[in-house]
Structure 1
Amino acid sequence: MFGFDKMFDFNRDGKLDSWERAAQFQFMDEMMKDDEKSILDDDDEIDTFADAGLDYDELEFMDP
């Protein structure tokens, strides 16, 4: 059993049953959706700055 699997071994029997595997899959699926959403949000923000003629990377280093 891997370290990450231990987090989903709710009954601590040393193996994952079907319900525990489903919980693990659900968790991983939600994590991937969150990553995908944040990537898309960053792209939208960069496009907005580019449309205004500003460089997003340079703005990160500027003082408010």
Structure 2
Amino acid sequence: MRIDYAINKVAQTHRGQSEDQVAQAIHDQLRALGVVPNGRQVAQYATAISALPQLPPNNK
């Protein structure tokens, strides 16, 4: 559950950015939640999130 939470949080804030930035954000989020990141999985998630289009700004 913690991994899903961290990935979803990063996907909302870092989508469309470089893979390195996304991977670092995932790593930081997982570490903050007490999870030891698996490098291969982080790389896969980072590739997928960086390929997503950026969300438009929420100006409500």
Q: What is the TM-score with the length of structure 1 in the denominator?
A: 0.30
Q: Which has the higher contact order (CA 8 A, sep 6+)?
A: 2
Please tell me whether Structure 1 or Structure 2 has the larger radius of gyration of its CA atoms.
1
Q: What is the TM-score with the length of structure 2 in the denominator?
A: 0.31
